[in-house]
Chain A
Amino acid sequence: MTKRELIQKTGFTLLAMCMAANIVFLGLIIFFIASKGLSIISWEFLTQAPVDAMTRGGIAPAIVGTLYLTLGAVLIALPLGAACAIYLTEYSPKGWTVNLIRISVNNLAGVPSVVFGLFGLAIFVKKAGFGVSMLSGSLTLGILALPVIISASQEALIAVPQSIREASLALGATRWETIHRVVLPAALPGILTGVILSVGRVAGETAPILFTAAAFYMKGYPDSVLSEVMALPYHIYALMTEGTHPEIQTQIAYGSSLVLLALVLSVSMLAIFIRQRYRRGYNA
């Protein structure tokens, strides 16, 4: 082996080790959370409310709260995000508006999550008077999810071949008819991927709901959009930082983490799966 080959071999081995590190990280996280969390999880754990100062019982209100918050966020972010993507790919004249919007989207994506929380606190909780509520939390999370939905939708719309649009226009369809009967149906799987990705992101977010929605403990389920909610990620945080029975609470936190991790990872794997199928469909 020459010196050049030796250097190449060493370099490639190092790169392979970097890649392997990712797999090890993911494996370690899943292994530790699952190995200690599995024994906690039972039917009761998933379907009952916490009792005895959160030392017994389940996490059902937190699971339901996370689902509500996520649903609310998607309901807000999807119409806005899809409209923005449609404007950028279908309508926008080239020029400063496109650049301005693109830069805003990119920067919104980079805003730290705790800053969204402060924005939600000042605007939705205080100014609009929604208080600490599901509504405030969903609105805050919706803004956070917006960039994810915009970029996925944009990618999906760009992937629709130009010839399909031209065919529709040639048949006498107007621009809007072309968009909602031809382009959108073709881009739907891609937009759906964006929605699923944003669900995964939103469900795991904690900082934006700290001061806008999350309740430390609730007896039952929220009964209106203006009531506080428990949420899985916040529940984990609360179990680890508050309360008087750290030993037992850590156990419950393991169980809650496993539920959250399973939820988020299955959602993101679903998105990856849909996208791969859909891309293959286009190439064929």
Chain B
Amino acid sequence: MIKRNKEKGIEWLFTALAFSSLVFLTGIVIVLVKEALPIFSTVSLPAFLGGESWYPTAEPPEFGIFPLIMASFWVSAGAMLICVPLGVGSALYLHELAGERQRAVLKPVIEVLASVPSIIYGFFGMVILAPFLQDRFNLPIGLCVLSTSIVLGVMATPTVASIAEDALGYVPRSFREASFALGANRWETLTRVIIPAAGSGISTAVILGMSRAIGETMTVLMVAGGAAVVPSSIFDPVRPMTAAIAAEMGEAPVGSDHYHALFAVALALFIVTFAFNIIAELISRRYRLKLGLSR
């Protein structure tokens, strides 16, 4: 009897602890909403999202985050141009062409690249890439949309590669064998059978890569240049949302409009990444069902 009670107790304990992630996630949402709401008594939601001037410390302050949103959008879009082809290409290479011995080396290379801290990418972008671009393109400043996109793209490549490679692993062998049996060569099988079959899995990888790029902080803080204006060219310095939060929170007095505005920026950022993650989750669930996998 005592033994059974102990068993029950332990099961309850694990159940309770298992909900910690949910508690933290909910906690984050509550904190963001609660700390963001006060700013909307100062500016309206449309003025906040659509306003083109972000002068939080001016007198009177202006809280329009449109330039920050555009900055995040453009640097992430640029990063996608790099990490989607490279990431998916690497995944296809690993899955289709690399033999056992190559894989044993190449997979760790991707994992190690993924584990390089963002501050190192930021530092690299600041001291190596930005001066190089500045020199190459004769720019007034090397810290701009282009340099940020390049660094973010490189950072997100291993993320896209490893998720896409997982997705390719789910495609049943029989698909490939059927295609070979019909006389298709390896390239035709890859492009007309495997990629379409893994398509939604690959799009999950792309979405999660995008999510990673938008949420990336230290790199954009160091490499993007910091100017809170809507960029008109890829050589303009910008201030993405994450960079604004990281750079300004230290100076914003707790409880001030600026403080609440920064939480509102974080809330907007959270909503975007959350939506991406949910979409990715939904797609990958449907994908697994489609291929007849339950897990």
Give A residues with C-beta under 8 Å from B: 4-5, 7-8, 11-12, 14-19, 21-23, 25-26, 29, 32-33, 79-80, 83-84, 86-88, 90-92, 97, 100-101, 103-108, 110-119, 121-123, 126, 143, 146-147, 150, 174-176, 197, 200-201, 203-207, 210-211, 233, 236-237, 240-241, 250, 253-254, 257, 260-261, 264-265, 267-269, 272, 276
Contacts and interface: CB of A to CB of B under 8 A. Distances in A.
Contacts of B97: 12, 15-16
Given A111-B270, A112-B270, A206-B217, A106 B115 contact: no
Interface string B1-38: 00100110011011101111110110110011001000
Nearest to A237: B119
B14 A264 contact: no
Nearest to A142: B24
Contact of B117 (A15, A87, A254, A260): A260
Nearest to A267: B115
Contacts of A201: 115
B21 A108 contact: yes
B119 A204 contact: yes
Q: Is the interface of A mostly helix, strand, loop or mixed?
A: helix
Nearest to B252: A211
Given A8-B186, A118-B266, A265 B115 contact: yes
Scoring A5, A203, A265 by chain B CB atoms within 10 A of each residue's CB, the highest score goes to A265
B145 interface: no
Contacts of B208: 110
A97 B113 CA distance: 35
Contacts of B17: 79-80, 83-84, 87
A22 B109 contact: yes
Given A8-B188, A175-B7, A204-B115, 12 more contacts: A8-B185, A18-B87, A22-B90, A80-B17, A111-B28, A114-B242, A119-B32, A121-B249, A123-B31, A210-B250, A233-B117, A260-B120
Interface in B172-200: 185-188, 190-191
A70 to B, nearest CB: 12
Interface stretch (B46-54, B59-67, B227-235, B275-283): B275-283
A104 B94 contact: no
Scoring B96, B154, B212 by chain A CB atoms within 10 A of each residue's CB, the highest score goes to B154
B11 A100 contact: no
B120 A112 contact: no
A151 to B, nearest CB: 11
13 contacts: A22-B110, A29-B121, A106-B277, A108-B21, A111-B25, A118-B266, A121-B249, A205-B117, A206-B218, A210-B249, A233-B117, A236-B119, A261-B117
* B interface, size bucket: 35 or more
B134 interface: no
A25 B266 CA distance: 31
Contacts of A117: 245-246, 249
A265 B116 contact: yes
A74 B39 CA distance: 36
B123 A112 contact: no
Contacts of B88: 18
B211 interface: yes
Contacts of B277: 106-107, 110
B58 interface: no
B85 interface: yes
Contacts of A150: 21
Contacts of B28: 111, 115-116, 119
A272 B22 CA distance: 29
B89 A14 contact: yes
Which 10 pairs between the two chains have the least Cβ-Cβ distance? A204-B117, A18-B89, A112-B215, A8-B187, A87-B18, A83-B17, A268-B115, A207-B217, A104-B22, A110-B277
Nearest to B117: A204
B274 interface: yes
A230 B85 CA distance: 39
Nearest to A200: B115
